[in-house]
Amino acid sequence: MAVRQASYSAPAAACAAEVLHALKSSDAPLTLAQLERLLPRSKSLIFRVLRELESHELVMRDGLGRFRLGIEAFEMATAYLSQWAFADVVRQTLEQLADETGDTVNLGVLRGGEVLYLMKFQGASSYVTISRVGGRVPANCVAIGKALLAKLDDSDVQRRFTEPLPQMTERSVRTMDGLLGELRAVRRDGHAIDREQAALGRCAVAVTAHIASTAPDPSAISISTSAAGFDDRVELLLDRLLRARELLDRDRQTRTALASAGETDTATLGDLTMPSGDGRS
């Protein structure tokens, strides 16, 4: 686990953060011995930190004495989403996009060589999905990841991966040359596509978007749909994505203007609604 060095040393606080990161990243509860192997801290410090975190219900032990995130960590995550002020207009826009198309709509940001999913809405026709809120997938395998990677210099992209690149299906791009070639096409076309690179039978189209709630991190939105008939629908799906992006950009500009004017009441944003489409596709 990569540890960012702070300007001032606070070993116990750093250890607490590292413990929570390790538990968050693990698919299963971890023992004290496993945490000791994962973290650059002494066993005694990790143990004391665990006891303190446990007293605040940030971690808890199962019947085998293994540690996992506690209920308070869940409540903090819920509070985080609320305090991060994902505006209603963002939720409404993406939810309506899913409703109009019948497909899965995702919002994500880049974290290293992975996409972190922040929002997900499923339409009536959604039946297979790999994304989950808070989950991560290799950015080279998904349209939303390639849309975000295309905003970077090639040298920055290269620093985020080692070859062979991660694979989710046999169609995932495996080489850096192949990925950079795909990113050149994304920059040229203004949108990214994956054809069964993340899940067989599924395709997706994605564009970057300017969203106030994720600033300063770039974000992107995607529509994931069945591979059957994708080529016939991709232009329509892209048009819907671009209209949604325009609305979200207007929301960001309005919030920026209000902040510059010293306004704190964002109720005036309520009139920003997504233009009605021409029915479910």
Question: How far is 38 from 274, CA to CA, in rounded Å?
Answer: 47
Q: Strand 67-69 to strand 59-61: parallel, antiparallel, or no bridges (unpaired)?
A: antiparallel
CB 54 within 8 A of CB 60: yes
CA dihedral 226, 227, 233, 237 (to 10 degrees): 60
CA–chain centroid gap for 107, Å, is 6
Q: Which domains does the chain have, with CATH numbers?
A: 11-75 (1.10.10.10), 84-271 (3.30.450.40)
Q: How many CB atoms lie within 10 A of CB 74?
A: 12
Closest CA to 281 of 228, 237, 215: 237
The position carrying tokens 């209000």 is 258
pTM: 0.68
- Specify the higher pLDDT residue, 253 or 84: 253
pLDDT value of position 77: 73
Backbone torsion region of residue 188, taken as left when φ is above 0, otherwise alpha when ψ lies between -120 and 50, otherwise beta: alpha
pLDDT value of position 268: 42
- Specify the higher pLDDT residue, 264 or 222: 222
Question: How far is 209 from 250, CA to CA, in rounded Å?
Answer: 11
173's tokens: 């791009």
pLDDT value of position 278: 43
At 90, the pLDDT band (50, 70, 90 cuts) reads confident
pLDDT value of position 156: 96
Alpha helices in the chain (DSSP H): 11-25, 32-38, 43-55, 71-83, 88-101, 143-149, 154-159, 176-189, 230-260
**Minimum mean pLDDT among 25-29, 95-99, 226-230: which range?**
25-29
**Minimum mean pLDDT among 91-105, 113-127, 134-148, 181-195: which range?**
113-127
CB 246 within 8 A of CB 208: no
pLDDT value of position 281: 35
Q: Answer yes or no: is pLDDT of 275 > 80.
A: no
Q: Answer yes or no: is pLDDT of 7 > 90.
A: no
Question: How far is 13 from 101, CA to CA, in rounded Å?
Answer: 46
Q: Answer yes or no: is pLDDT of 276 > 90.
A: no
Average per-residue pLDDT for the chain? 85
Question: How far is 142 from 264, CA to CA, in rounded Å?
Answer: 37
pLDDT value of position 218: 87
pLDDT value of position 215: 62
170's tokens: 């046999």
Q: Answer yes or no: is pLDDT of 259 > 80.
A: no
| Model pLDDT for residues 127-181, shown as the tens digit of each residue | 767 778 888 999 999 999 999 999 999 999 999 999 999 999 999 999 999 999 9
- Specify the higher pLDDT residue, 191 or 210: 191
Q: Answer yes or no: is pLDDT of 74 > 70.
A: yes
